[in-house]
């Protein structure tokens, strides 16, 4: 070897960690499903499940991401909801989904730290509280933007948020196990 060849760094091939970026693929897939369902779901009596919150709640429960990753998930969710929003102020989705994903992440981390990783109601609770946070933030922004009286927010808007919260908690709970099974599927290596 001459001096030029000694100074050239050797390429080292590193095998990627198994499932290293599976959470990104699952997140993208579930957010896409959430956006599609959010767009096509009809409004029944002023209530529509927020499929996007349910989907990112599932992802956060499955992957236990870093807080910064959960904030990224919330930001992307909020951005993607803006064009499909049926509300008077679609940009409020960005702040509300940031808040919802953050609360979901903090709750998951807290529950895992106290040994509740196998608690069957964890997806319901996190989906419900993420929706309550997101919906509370969103409707409060809407109250301010539209200059609505506080009574309208408390007695008309928040009960709808609570109803959607229960629906989203149920959706998160019911879909968690099938998505978890998909997330942990291993390919046969023949």
Distance CA 59, CA 66 (A): 12
With bands split at pLDDT 50, 70 and 90, how would you rate the model's confidence at 187? Answer: very low
Q: For 128-135, what is the mean pLDDT? A: 96
Q: For 151-162, what is the mean pLDDT? A: 93
What are 51's two structure tokens? 């499929």
* pLDDT above 80 (res 51): yes
Q: Tell me if 166 sits within 8 A of 128, measured CB to CB.
A: yes
Mean pLDDT over the full length of the chain: 85
Q: For 15-43, what is the mean pLDDT? A: 71
Q: Which residues contact 180 (CB under 8 A, 6 or more apart)?
A: 62
With bands split at pLDDT 50, 70 and 90, how would you rate the model's confidence at 164? Answer: very high
Which residue in this structure is represented by tokens 């960005």? Answer: 94
Question: Which domains are assigned to the chain?
Answer: 21-40+48-183 (1.10.1760)
* pLDDT above 70 (res 72): yes
Distance CA 144, CA 96 (A): 14
């Amino acid at each position: 070897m001459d001096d030029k060849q000694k100074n050239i760094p050797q390429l080292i091939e590193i095998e990627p960690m198994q499932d290293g970026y599976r959470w990104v693929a699952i997140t993208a897939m579930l957010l896409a499903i959430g956006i599609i369902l959010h767009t096509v779901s009809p409004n029944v009596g002023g209530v529509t499940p927020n499929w996007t919150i349910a989907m990112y709640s599932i992802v956060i429960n499955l992957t236990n991401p870093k807080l910064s990753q959960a904030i990224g998930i919330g930001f992307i969710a909020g951005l993607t909801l803006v064009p499909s929003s049926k509300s008077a102020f679609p940009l409020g989705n960005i702040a509300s989904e940031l808040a919802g994903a953050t609360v979901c992440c903090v709750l998951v981390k807290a529950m895992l730290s106290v040994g509740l990783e196998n608690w069957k109601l964890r997806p319901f609770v996190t989906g419900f509280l993420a929706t309550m946070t997101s919906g509370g933030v969103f409707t409060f922004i809407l109250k301010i933007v539209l200059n609505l009286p506080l009574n309208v927010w408390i007695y008309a808007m928040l009960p709808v948020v609570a109803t959607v919260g229960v629906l989203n908690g149920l959706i998160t709970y019911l879909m968690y196990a099938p998505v978890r099974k998909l997330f942990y599927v291993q390919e046969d290596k023949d």
